[in-house]
Structure 1
Amino acid sequence: MTESPAPSSSSRRVALVTGASSGIGERTALRLQEAGFTVYAVARRVERMKGLADAGIHVVAMDVTDDESMTSGVARIIEEQGRIDVLVNNAGYGSYGAVEDVPIDEARRQFEVNVFGLARLTQLVTPHMRALADEPLARRCRIVNISSIGGKFYEPLGAWYHATKFAVEGFSDSLRIELAPFGIDVVIIEPGPIRTEWSAISRESLTETSRGGAYEGQAEKVRKVMERADRPGMSSRPDAVAKKIVSAVLANTPRARYPVGRGAGTVVRARKVLPDAAFDYVVKGTFGMRGRSRRRR
């Protein structure tokens, strides 16, 4: 294993934000820059980060399912800045459909993006963060993992997506304990409904996967709920999440997790206090599935 280079003596902290071509990642990159960080915004679609580049943010092509892409990206930042103080693992997507219908390769891809890409980038960045712990008057480094309230509850036809977010929660909790002695804090951000392209992409995958099959009726109900949740009165803007991320990054002692966005705290608290049967009842009611359905012959 190669040793990490000596950290830069620069006092300007460096942040790496994934999934920065739109939505939460884009707003987070801008907010971190406003807070005084040198920011590297990475995504597959570099052409969509022109606005960030124009604002003075470093934009880098990176695919979190491509190891070489991640390795070279981190190496570039270390070569140019000598340090990485903050990692925001934001890249991710939602692919919906019944477990029976979603191809297993698509399920694997969702884990590759939402879990293994996050984990691999964490592996690549952590040695450089540990090196910063030896700096005089060093501030603690931060790894911020964007989970979801979907890592605390569940929906019909969302098993694969929720499985990835439950995995991010467990991964982050263990990581928080093992990295604490090295001056690295691990924070989980749990957004509720946020008005980004995420919802439209998820609805499209749900409709396409379920068309003409046994779950088409369920899919229509789930799609309508997702559409309602995307309305301004039911959801929050990406900047609300970006503000919370920056607050967690700058906090002297950050909390382990931050629900954020309209209704997020309510959902998380309800899941804590309600037994499974009661929460199932709530979920079924939300999606219009309380009635006993007839079996198809």
Structure 2
Amino acid sequence: MSDKTRPVVLITGASSGIGYATALALIARGWVVYAAARRVDRMAHLAASGCEVLEMDVTDDASMQAGVDRIVHQQGRIDVLVNNAGYGSYGALEDVPIEEARRQFEVNVFGLARLTQLVLPTMRALGRGRIVNISSVGGRIYEPIGSWYHATKFAVEGLSDSLRLELAPHGIDVVIIQPGPIRTEWNAISRESALERSGDGPYAAQAAALVSNYENVDSSPLAGTAEGVARTIVKAVTVRYPRSRYATPASAKVIVGLRRLLPDVLMDGMLSRLAT
């Protein structure tokens, strides 16, 4: 049954990490939360906490359409979409099969774009709404062994900037969240893919350096938490006039600031040293 007094949000990738923490944070604030992911079995606690759980695969158009239709049927609207689903596929460009590169774009870019297409008609009809796209500091900087992942996040940044201008006349905000080093299972998945594809061969040294750097994130005091990113997302969806971008935690703000200030030659040197 529709609840006209409570904001309605759809969050993708909600079975773990940032999406999971954001769902809990918004349900605690009294929102109507639809938590979507492929792994519904991992969202039992969200369901018990009051979230509506959706099985959704952002590479499956039918599941996205069914999810949006269900929310609109039950609530009459979607006030906020948090496009959080995504993963890091690592390995030297030469080593990554082009099929995997396409899948990285399907999940991180095209799934985000298609779900946005599906929610926009309702938002435009209301004359309001907010799209929150989870990018990364990886949409501002770059590193060896991560070309395909960074390409997707650069794409999300450009897509979001254009979309922000397209939708402003319709009263719809577009916000980018740029997490930096965060202690989640994302790190382990990214490390595993780097070793699987480039752990041996001409790029092995760079892959090993990346894995070591990402392992250090799990214990670094400069790394953030999923809950910390969730607090930033809550701010982005609740303030009256959101900023176009929020980098989080503090280390992410430093990284984005350095990229803004340093010329490519200095940035290349700094990032290359981290990869050896």
**TM-score class normalised by the smaller sequence:** over 0.9
User: Which is richer in helix?
Assistant: 2
What pairs with 1:144-163 in structure 2 (closer than 5 Å)?
A: 144-163=132-151
Hey, which bits of structure 1, 4+ residues long, moved more than 3 A? none
Aligned length: 275
**Corresponding letter in the other structure for 1:47:** D
1:112 aligns with 2:106: yes
How far apart are the structure 1 equivalents of 2:261 and 2:199?
36
**Corresponding letter in the other structure for 1:174:** S
- Quote the offset at 1:278 in angstroms: 0.7
Structure 1 residue aligned with 2:156, among 158, 168, 172? Answer: 168
**Corresponding letter in the other structure for 2:116:** T
- Quote the offset at 1:231 in angstroms: 1.6
Deviations 1:136-180 (A, max 9, x none): xxxx41100000000000011000000000000000000000001
Equivalent position of 2:256 in the other structure: 268
SS in 2 for 1:11: coil
How far apart are the structure 2 equivalents of 1:183 and 1:152?
27
How far apart are the structure 2 equivalents of 1:182 and 1:90?
23
Structure 2 residue aligned with 1:209, among 177, 197, 212? Answer: 197
Ranges in structure 2 where 5+ consecutive residues have no aligned partner: none
How far apart are the structure 2 equivalents of 1:96 and 1:143?
27
How far apart are the structure 2 equivalents of 1:51 and 1:268?
35
Equivalent position of 2:177 in the other structure: 189
SS in 1 for 2:36: strand
Contact 2:27/2:49 (<8 A) preserved: no
Structure 2 residue aligned with 1:283, among 264, 267, 271? Answer: 271
State the TM-score, normalized to the length of structure 1: 0.91
Contact 2:187/2:214 (<8 A) preserved: yes
Structure 1 residue aligned with 2:241, among 240, 253, 273? Answer: 253
Ranges in structure 1 where 5+ consecutive residues have no aligned partner: 1-7, 134-139, 289-297
RMSD: 1.1
What pairs with 1:1-297 in structure 2 (closer than 5 Å)?
A: 10-133=4-127, 140-288=128-276
Contact 1:228/1:234 (<8 A) preserved: no
SS in 2 for 1:195: coil
Deviates more, 1:218-227 or 1:45-54: 218-227
State the TM-score, normalized to the length of structure 2: 0.97
How far apart are the structure 2 equivalents of 1:256 and 1:183?
14
User: Percent same amino acid among aligned pairs?
Assistant: 62
**Corresponding letter in the other structure for 1:36:** G
Equivalent position of 1:136 in the other structure: none
**Corresponding letter in the other structure for 2:267:** F
How far apart are the structure 2 equivalents of 1:212 and 1:167?
29
- Quote the offset at 1:287 in angstroms: 2.0
